[in-house]
Structure 1
Amino acid sequence: MKRTLLLSLGLLATSSYAQEHFSGINTSRRTGILNASLNPAELVNLKNDNEVNVFTFSANVSNNKISFGDLVGGEDLGNLIFTGSEPVNMRADVEILGPSFAMKYDKWAFAVTTGAKIKASLVDIDVNLGDALANSGVDALLGNPVYINTDYNQRAASTAWGEIGFSAAREIFENDTHKFSGGATFKLIFPGTYANMSADKFNGTIEGVVELNSQQQVIDTYVGLTDATANVNLAYSGALGDSFTDSSNFSEFFAGGLNGFSADLGANYQWKNENGGYNINAGVAVRNIGSMTFKDDNNVNKSYEVNVPNGQYLNLDQFEDVDNIDEVEEILVNSGYATLIESGKDFKIKQPTVLSLYADANVYNNWYVTAYLQQKLSDASENNRVGSQNIFTVTPRYSTNFFEAYAPFSSNEISGFTAGIGFRIGGFFIGSGSILSAAIGDTTQADGYLGFRFGF
């Protein structure tokens, strides 16, 4: 699959956006709906009796190959992405929290939230395979074949969906020193659009092919795949079935109707101080427990066993201008080297389930330090899952009732170390988890967020 097919999906991730969204502000002592999206038990700690979220937006892109300096420096990304020996991993993620409302009543708290999410990823793409397909021409491969031997699933996937959440939390125990609470969020999921292409256990040889006629005249040249085997999955639903290179197709958040459910479960503990605040605010939550089913009229979910005998060739140049998965399937089927082994119409995609742990400690006066850990509970290489990543963040902050400044320092599974900064003035906030590391050095992550909410 040549440059258009591989890089359109890969670079789509770098141009759009489960990372850690709202790094630093989601554990703010000015507790609101955003905190409850991290842990529903936080609702009982609302700063105001009632809160309205007007609009909140976060975009996050991370990878293990292309740095921020490469992007602004005009480097050839097609060459950089397939350097080194480590497989290519990229995550692009957008999260929108729309109009939402929360309230406290006695020992209870409730919330109704709306939101939308976009996720795109490249998972464990072999660099030799990617470089041969995206960058190498016939001349470079003549006499210099590329041998691929992988025992894992290589995957390019994208999806978008909408959510409506209903949350409830209750104070379980409280005295002058300690406070315990628990909460849950039940989310209705509206699948929008989806696309997945994967090749499991891909083995083969890629080389330049020169075809001659009986007079030894050249009649064709192309990049060919031979002596190859792989298990290929091709699946799509909604707008991404028409084109995976058109970014506007990701805006179909609620197109599939109500066809999924998920839940967040959490617990919270506070060690209170004499000033009406806390010495420590800690929580644990398991989020995104559930799945969504795609039932669009254009659904396709097929698995093929690909077998190209030694000495015979699958012409990879055919994939040069491919714009959708249907075209990929047509080329594979017409080649005669792909055998259908499984076919279905409706398919279920599991949500990116994660475990979140955090603790915010009051160090001195208005100075606080937060530690946050996100541990993924699913394997992003599986075809029926939305991926996420492991993250650890430490955030020192200065926080008053009206103003807050903080700097999150993170270790991300894919992009490594990042450092950012953020500010809150009243109910408005803006920040980034990587802008400092981008400014003072090189980073393979770019992200930013902003939002406005008010309480009464």
Structure 2
Amino acid sequence: MKKSLLLLSSVITFVSYSQDHFSGINTSKRVGILNSTVNPAELINMTNTYEISIFNVSTIVSNNKITFQEIMKGENIDDKFFSGNEPANMRLDAVIYGPAFAMKYKKWAFGLNSTAYVKANAIDVDVNFGKALTNSFVGVDHINTHYNQRMNAASWGEIGLSASRNLFDNNTHKFSAGATFKLLFPGSFMNLGVSNLEGDVTNVLGNVNLTNATAQVNIAYSGSLANNYNDASNYSKFFAGGLNGVGADIGVNYQWKQKRYDEEVNENASPTTDYKLNLGLSVRNIGTMTFKDNNNVSTNYNLNIDASQGESLNLNQFDGSESITDIEQVLLDSGYLTKTDGQKDFRIKLPTVINIYADYQLASKWYVSAYIQQKLNDDSENDFTTIQNVLTLTPRFSGKHYEIYVPFTKNEVSDFTTGFGFRLGGFYMGSGSIVTALINDSTQADFYLGFRVGI
């Protein structure tokens, strides 16, 4: 059960392979398809007339308890994760932007892209309950949580069709709007939600039991994640469920323009148009997808363990669990679950967010950008995938063919992080947390890279 609760095996596997994704580069002055994933209105601002995106990947692992250095040292993760009084959270979030193409034509710009997503999360886990599940306390403890503890994972694919248009454009001001229509391909999903858990946990010589307990339980799964959540390959079934959903991004953009001389080409050249200020507002991930598979199920239960009748649930039974179906079977065999409702096919909402950003030219090639990501969904609901609230400030030195930047980020789960990134031509690489991970007690590790060609 402790494996299922933490998802640590899956997290460590993903780190070895490879929430503000692409922190710092996603608001780059070198505008391309990557910028349009934040705001589709940016597509008309592309630096080149045509762009081909080859490959872009970003992976973020964050939590609010364990530092990156503690993980690398192999310290007792269970004890660290369930320390203190604040609920424990861990998020793995990976995105892969596959082959994509975009072009400008007069006042219009159009794009076609493909994307794959992976999310694996432990959300608001009660630390006292966690200690009980990992046998790290001895005696009796009363659990009383008034929120929903979740173990949640999902994978899906998207194909996006984007369009952007200039609405107004003169020598000083430019307004544009854009939208992306998404075809959604749900891959696999699992959710274990335990809300309003109240009960007594006893540990006598390693024998851990839950008694006098009540809770509402949601168990849902579809596709490969029903089988084994520790097998990384089960998270890669991005398009396995076929076309079963639609989504959309919409956005607007404003630029305050100015003339400048491109000193990198020729200091005596004619002036070109650049922006002094670039502002954007977008709403992303509007939509839902329906999971359909032969093993589909989403069931709500009531858990009731009556101590007056001598009832208790032995929590040691969960130690060998490697799938959501294993956990469900143990609970069903106990006889303490009562089904309230359920369905075979179920719908999951995308993690809708509002993005607001501003990029300002301080002097010559020096810029600074501010970026806000605010989620509109409640992570406690069982029919949502998750996303984090993020605030990022990024100073950078940006030339025509190169860029160096340092993002400073406040994340909802991992708090403050600092990273570093660079761009050289169409290639870029960076991290939103590498600096704090190396020199401080950072609870986040992330990395991204990509390559695109402009024509």
TM-score with structure 1 setting the length: 0.94
Contact 1:390 1:413 survives alignment (8 Å): yes
State the partner residue of 1:217: none
1:232-311 matches, within 5 Å, as 232-275=217-260, 276-310=273-307, 311=310
Contact 1:3 1:135 survives alignment (8 Å): no
The runs of 5 or more residues in structure 1 that have no matched partner are 211-220
AA paired with 1:45? N
AA paired with 1:376? K
Task: Check if 1:404 corresponds to 2:374.
Answer: no
Q: Residue deviations 1:314-364, cap 9 Å, x none?
A: 111111111212221221111111101111100000000000000000100
1:442-453 matches, within 5 Å, as 442-453=441-452
Task: Check if 1:358 corresponds to 2:357.
Answer: yes
**Distance (Å, rounded) in 1 between the aligned partners of 2:282 and 2:162:** 14
State the partner residue of 2:186: 191
Contact 2:132 2:203 survives alignment (8 Å): no
AA paired with 1:198? G
State the partner residue of 2:266: none
Query: Secondary structure in 1 aligned to 2:42?
Result: helix
C-alpha displacement at 1:5, in angstroms? 3.0
**Distance (Å, rounded) in 2 between the aligned partners of 1:4 and 1:97:** 30
State the partner residue of 1:170: 165
Contact 1:88 1:124 survives alignment (8 Å): yes
C-alpha displacement at 1:4, in angstroms? 3.3
Query: Secondary structure in 2 aligned to 1:26?
Result: coil
Task: Check if 1:113 corresponds to 2:98.
Answer: no
Query: Secondary structure in 2 aligned to 1:151?
Result: coil
AA paired with 1:126? D
C-alpha displacement at 1:12, in angstroms? 2.5
**Distance (Å, rounded) in 1 between the aligned partners of 2:342 and 2:65:** 35
**Distance (Å, rounded) in 2 between the aligned partners of 1:285 and 1:64:** 28
State the partner residue of 1:372: 371
State the partner residue of 2:432: 433
Query: Secondary structure in 2 aligned to 1:273?
Result: strand
1:76-87 matches, within 5 Å, as 76-87=76-87
C-alpha displacement at 1:10, in angstroms? 4.4
**Distance (Å, rounded) in 2 between the aligned partners of 1:333 and 1:180:** 58
AA paired with 2:226? G
The runs of 5 or more residues in structure 2 that have no matched partner are 261-272
C-alpha displacement at 1:417, in angstroms? 0.6
Contact 2:5 2:122 survives alignment (8 Å): no
Contact 1:129 1:148 survives alignment (8 Å): yes
Contact 2:20 2:390 survives alignment (8 Å): yes
Contact 2:117 2:155 survives alignment (8 Å): yes
State the partner residue of 2:208: 223
C-alpha displacement at 1:16, in angstroms? 2.6
Decide which moves more: 273-282 or 179-188. Answer: 273-282
State the partner residue of 1:40: 40
Q: Residue deviations 1:171-200, cap 9 Å, x none?
A: 000111000000000010100000100101
**Distance (Å, rounded) in 2 between the aligned partners of 1:23 and 1:325:** 33
Task: Check if 1:326 corresponds to 2:294.
Answer: no
Task: Check if 1:97 corresponds to 2:118.
Answer: no
**Distance (Å, rounded) in 1 between the aligned partners of 2:442 and 2:296:** 38
Number of equivalent positions: 438
State the partner residue of 1:391: 390
Contact 1:161 1:190 survives alignment (8 Å): yes
Query: Secondary structure in 2 aligned to 1:274?
Result: strand
C-alpha displacement at 1:266, in angstroms? 0.3
Contact 2:135 2:203 survives alignment (8 Å): no
State the partner residue of 2:22: 22
Contact 1:6 1:134 survives alignment (8 Å): no
**Distance (Å, rounded) in 2 between the aligned partners of 1:426 and 1:71:** 35
**Distance (Å, rounded) in 2 between the aligned partners of 1:10 and 1:300:** 25
State the partner residue of 2:69: 69
Task: Check if 1:422 corresponds to 2:421.
Answer: yes
**Distance (Å, rounded) in 1 between the aligned partners of 2:5 and 2:358:** 41
**Distance (Å, rounded) in 1 between the aligned partners of 2:118 and 2:106:** 37
AA paired with 1:255? A
Query: Secondary structure in 1 aligned to 2:128?
Result: helix
TM-score with structure 2 setting the length: 0.94
Name the CA shift for 1:15/1:84 in 2 (closer, same or farther; >3 Å).
Answer: farther
**Distance (Å, rounded) in 1 between the aligned partners of 2:416 and 2:325:** 39
State the partner residue of 1:12: 10
**Distance (Å, rounded) in 2 between the aligned partners of 1:415 and 1:334:** 38
**Distance (Å, rounded) in 2 between the aligned partners of 1:446 and 1:186:** 31
Q: Work out the percentage of aligned pairs sharing the same amino acid.
A: 53
AA paired with 2:217? V
Contact 1:65 1:88 survives alignment (8 Å): yes
AA paired with 2:148? N
**Distance (Å, rounded) in 1 between the aligned partners of 2:251 and 2:13:** 33
